[in-house]
Structure 1
């Protein structure tokens, strides 16, 4: 009788664990909007544009200057330098795994990647140019004109098609296969025992999966996470959402230091300890985070080991050859 009960308990625990693993399994396809379907020509053009410094006023910075693929499509400093050689307002967020998102930027101020692609180009503190001037500059380059005619028959090179190409490329930016993915697929040796315990902490006592859900480890929602900052976040759009910021995904998180919207936390350990104590709330800036008093030092180490399994085996991306004539 006791043996039967023990077996049932073990089976139940194993089933729950498998269900949790499946909840974080990668989707087979990328979701593209019906009005802007994928084509390899659009994506290839978007990649060229993303790495082309001619989209900036001084032709000295591209989208990839701040969204560097070697650092998880972020910048390894708290705030990147913009067109005026001054730090921009916030830490550069990753642009990986955003095809399913309905809000972009830390404050979610735009609803489509096409809009997101336009803002840095035209912002005086970022790339310091305008879309109209980008169109004129690129139109003077024969190879760009020809490639746009192929990718967008009947439309060619214009403001709209530039933004669609950029957005199409960004939707293809999926983090690569990682040890965690192998584990989800059933390879028990893909990650270490501490990492497996860390997954249990992540989905259990650590409460991380409350917000970091799904295969990309984000609910794409907005939360107050107890960062001492004057930045009102989404409150700039909706006063009732003051100090809330979009949940970043966790794929390739070990490559993306520093962390948070202000780049104020410099390591995974600092991040975990921040959440462990419930952030740094104040009277004017409350936190949605309860202190995690049940988490032990061993749990912290295990959780970090788990987060490191989210790093892709081949996280880097090669730059494209750019049109020169």
Structure 2
């Protein structure tokens, strides 16, 4: 499918892009951003009729006040069934590619309907969803994808600092930024306006008793080298999104820093970038402080509304 960059070019009176983000957003030609489509997407996002027993909506797991994720280590769906992966945050996913932790969906339009059908998540056939809502699956897909594209965050103190406000970060946070770009090597994967390379990496998370219970990206590609590799998440609003990693196994930002400081968990396919960092206690604290400074307001909808 041919894609074009459209967000700011939709209309001269379009919404202002949050500070720090790319002004243009990848939008498919057959699903341009429109107020009516976004409004329908929002209504569907909060509609529990899209689950078999009416107990779960998209917003049940993707809580707006938590950067559109939740606090559970693993996603929990209909009938309190527990999945095998953490609920991904939806902030700025409109800028992404290859969706889900393993990248099995190529577009948002492809991704948004899969949880509805998943027997552990919402467990509703799409034909039944169409009957309940009065909208065909293709219409629902476009609407939900559009709404997700409007979920954005930027304008953090980190963004203000990069824009020239040298007082936006204190000395410890500025040390964290130097470490982020240097010794700690965070920017090797967490780069660009959305602080992710949109690629898949094996850091050893989930490797226990000599194996990965979840093969990660390898379940999509079939390549042994992709075993244990998962999507790099954005670091924006990470302070609001505990617990961490694809399986929710790290409870705090401090735990995340410790994991990387140790060089991850050794396994056959561990990324070559994973090496012990030998960070001091002060350096670890500085990195945590920087991550906290990457928190900004979240907006959603068209025109955007701030999530309070």
Which of the five TM-score ranges fits, normalised by the shorter chain? 0.7 to 0.9
* Correspondence for 1:185: 163
TM-score by length of 1: 0.81
Larger Rg: 1
Correspondences of 1:23-102 after superposition (within 5 Å)? 25-102=20-97
The answer (yes or no) to whether the contact 2:91–2:298 under 8 Å persists in 1 is no
Alignment partner of 1:219 is 2:197: yes
Matches within 5 A, 1:1-325: 25-139=20-134, 157-227=135-205, 228=207, 229-240=212-223, 241-283=226-268, 286-312=270-296, 314-315=297-298
CA-CA distance at 1:317 after TM superposition:
6.6
What is the Cα deviation at residue 294 of structure 1? 4.0
Whether the 8 Å CA contact 1:279–1:289 is kept in 2: the answer is: no
Task: Give 1:149's aligned residue.
Answer: none
Matched with 2:14 is none
2-side partners of 1:299 and 1:239: how far apart? 39
Deviation at 1:316, TM superposition (A): 7.2
293 and 135 in structure 1: CA distance in 2 versus 1, 3 angstrom threshold: closer
- Unaligned runs of at least 5 residues, structure 2: 1-18, 302-308
Q: State the aligned residue count.
A: 276
For residues 224 and 303 of structure 1, the distance between their equivalents in structure 2, rounded to whole angstroms, comes to 21
Q: Decide which structure has greater strand share.
A: 2
Contact 1:30 1:172 in 2 (8 A): no
Deviation at 1:73, TM superposition (A): 1.3
Deviation at 1:176, TM superposition (A): 3.9
Deviates most, 40-49 or 28-37: 28-37
Cα deviations by residue, 1:181-228 (Å, 9 ceiling, x for unpaired): 211221111121111110110011111010111111001001101112
Query: Which blocks of at least 5 consecutive residues in structure 1 are unaligned?
Result: 1-23, 140-156, 319-325
Q: Root-mean-square deviation (CA), in Å? A: 1.7
Q: Which residue of 2 aligns with 1:153?
A: none
> CA offset at residue 239 of structure 1?
2.8
Kept in 1, the 8 Å contact 2:254–2:284? The answer is yes
Cα 1:26/1:176, change in 2 over 3 Å: closer
CA distance in 1, matches of 2:232, 2:74: 18
* Cα drift, residue 255 of structure 1: 0.4
Contact map agreement 1:117 1:167 (CA 8 A) in 2: yes
Write out the 4+ residue segments of structure 1 that deviate beyond 4 Å after TM superposition.
none
Change (3 A) 1:305 1:296: same
Structure showing the higher helix proportion among its residues: 1
CA distance 1:246–1:230, change in 2 (3 Å): same
C-alpha change, 1:65 and 1:297, in structure 2 (3 Å) is: same
Cα distance 1:316–1:192, how it changes in 2: closer, same or farther (>3 A)? Answer: same
Looking at structure 2, the residues matched to 263 and 85 of structure 1 have their Cα atoms a distance apart, in angstroms, of 17
Calculate the TM-score normalised by the size of structure 2.
Answer: 0.85
